Structures are given as C-alpha cells and as structure tokens.
Structure 1
Amino acid sequence: MENYEQEDILSVIEIDLKKVAWSSLIMTFSFSIIGMIIYISLYGSFQITFSFVDLLLLFFGYVLLIILHECFHLVGFWFFGKVPWSSMNYGVNLKMGIAYATTSIPLPNRAMKKALLLPFWTTGVLPVIIGYSIQSPMLVLLGAWLIAGAAGDFAMYKDLRKYPPNILIKDDPVKPKLYVMK
C-alpha cells in the first residue's frame, strides 16, 4: 500500500474470493427462483424466449450492468466521499476474475459503506422493480443476478459495520481489501 506505513493501519478487511463466489452463485440461483415465483404470482406466468438475439441481449445486458455496477461505486466515492474523479480508477482484473472500482483517497467509513451499496440499489434492485413494472422477466433475472453479484460488497460492508462512521477506510488499488486507518 503506497504512502502509508504499516503503523497507520488499524485493521485489514480482505474478502475470501472463493467463499464470495460460492455465496454469489447460491444467491444467483435463489434470487432467480424467488424473482420468477414473485413474477408468476403477479402475472400468472412468464415467458422467456431463447432466440439468438434474446441470448445476445441477455449477455450484453449483463455485461452492461456489471460495468454500471463499477461505475456506481465511482459515483458513490465522488458523491458520498467527495473524492475527485482524478483519484479514481476502474477496470477488470482478468487474473482474479473481477471487475473493480477504486480510489486512492481514504474515505470516512460512512461514505465507504454507502459507496459499497450504491450499485446494489441501482443495478440490482432498480432493474428488478422496473422488470416487474414493465412485465419483463429478463430484466427481473438480470437484476437478481446483479443483486447476487454484490456479495463481495456486502461482505465488506458487514465488516465495516464494526467501525465508527468517521474512521478512514483506504481501498486497496489491486486486491479486494480495505484498510482501516488509525
């Protein structure tokens, strides 16, 4: 970690990617089934076609929502943490199999927690609500998948709840870990 000495760090929050991946997979299946049960109870049935175009739309919709998920982390850093755009970065770590958004500036815990959960609401819950309102089971499924995709964010949020709201949290620029600063 650059510009910080080991003695500046109170604690390290690191998620187990294998554990989070399994949780996310289980949540994906669970939320998909629950979402479709709710859809059927609201509308009597559902139909998802599997034409090549529909599969392409599903794939591109999923990729777009993953990109938006990371963008909303950046928006959260900016809006809740008042972080300048120039100190933020995003991308995909193919080696780890994750997309990421990060900032080089520590945020107060309350701002970091909000930035962690913003994508859950905007790319998960909101598409589900829109999917139900326009009777689109595909959008309900995409939202359910992105809700499950926030498993790592929830794991970090859960650990951050132990700390006071004003303590500074530094995001690791490479790994899915947070540093709680003294």
Structure 2
Amino acid sequence: MDEQRKGPDHIVELDLPKVAKFSMILTGLSLVILFVIKAILDKGISIQITLWNTLFFIVGYIILIVLHELFHLLGFRLFGHVPWKRMIVGVNLKMGVAYATTDQLMTNRAIRKALLLPFWTTGVLPAIFGIAMSNGLLLGLAAFLIGGAAGDFVMYQELRKLPDDWLVKDDPQMPKLYLYTPERRGELEG
C-alpha cells in the first residue's frame, strides 16, 4: 500500500443533531443554575424583558459568537503555534454554524486547549461578571454561550481518548477532525 495515500488513523466527527440537542440542554441547565445563584444572592428574582434588553441581548449574542471563534484562533496561536495567516474564521449558513479553522497540524493536546478557551472566555467570564453585577442580561448571554460550546465539549471528550502527541488536522468544511500518529508528521507535512 502506498504510504502517501494512507488515510487518517482516527476521525472525530460531530453528529450535529445530537450536538444541537446537547446544546439546548446545556443552555437550559446553565440558565437555571445561573439564575438560581442570582436569586439566592439577590434574595429574590425579577426579570425585566424590554425591547432594549432584547436588542442588547441579540447584539451581545452576535458579538460573543464572533469572540468565541476568535478565541479559538487565539488558542490555535497560543497552544498550537499556528501563524495568523494560516487561520480562517467564517460562517457556514447552510449548517448554521460559525467556525474557526486552520490547515496546519496541531497536537491533540494543543487543539484540546484551543477547543475549551472560548468556553472560559465567552461563557464562564460573562457568568462571573453577571453574578458579580447581578446582571440578568449577562447571565442569559453566558448561558447561551456555555450551551454554544457543546460541540467543543463533544470534540474535547473524543480527543481525550487519544494520546496528547497525536497530530490533528481540522476539516475546513465539516465539523470533523482527522488524527494521525506522530510518526506520520513527515508524510503529512511533506
């Protein structure tokens, strides 16, 4: 068999309907938990839904989705040492997803860190600020961005099953990762 034509040693592929269901559950749980914490700290709860709050939520959500993808790129740079010029960010309207990708190989360890960076920065940090400021709008945004990280969590869990030094190539079109043993680096970069 021609060694140059050998496929990946492992593939991680998202089942988008399952991820969407997991995302809704995660968002709902996050909303409940964050608003219960707010109610306990505030000794009660009041929710005010206005046109302005709705507009702020929509704009904030769009901004945080963009930041989520930019934090993936930052993770590629920090943990995978990927040059900025080898990164791509965009939106796939057909699949209804925003994405950040690169054509450069990264180690399994590096991509796992890059997968979770947006969860911490666009989900957990807004939740902490929302609780500290008793701001329901921030808590709602945080819950939606935590739920939005569902696909990242699923990929992370699958990648944890494989060695840290395996090489990962992101599929530029689909939510799919191709993994290769470290011995194949020369073949893949050549």
TM interval, shorter chain, is over 0.9
Distance in 1, matches of 2:72 and 2:47, equals: 31
Task: Give 3-state SS (helix, strand or coil) of 1:49's partner.
Answer: coil
Paired position in structure 2 for 1:96: 95
Residue aligning to 2:163: 164
SS in 1 for 2:30: helix
Instruction: Using the TM superposition, give the Cα deviation of residue 8 of structure 1 relative to its aligned residue in structure 2, in angstroms.
Output: 4.5
Which residue identity does 1:101 align to in structure 2? Answer: A
2:100 partner amino acid: A
TM-score, length-normalised on structure 2? Answer: 0.91
Q: 3-state DSSP class of the match of 1:145?
A: helix
Q: Does 1:30 align with 2:29?
A: yes
**Paired AA for residue 36 in structure 1:** F
Displaced runs of 4+ in structure 1, greater than 3 A? none
Q: Which residue identity is paired with 1:119? A: P
Amino acid at match of 1:155: V
TM-score for both structures, normalised by structure 1:
0.95
Counterparts of 2:134 and 2:96, CA distance in 1: 33
Q: Structure 1 residue 46: deviation in Å?
A: 3.0
Identity of aligned residues (%): 50
Q: Is the 8 A contact 1:46 1:137 kept in 2?
A: no
Aligned partner of 2:61 in structure 1 is 62
- Cα deviation, residue 5, structure 1: 5.4
Secondary structure at 1:169 match in 2: strand
Measure, in 2, the Cα distance between the counterparts of 1:110 and 1:27.
24
For structure 2, the residue ranges without an aligned partner over 5 or more in a row are: 182-190
Aligned to 1:109: 108
Q: What does residue 83 of structure 1 align with? A: 82
State the match for 1:155 in structure 2: 154
Aligned Cα RMSD in Å? 1.3
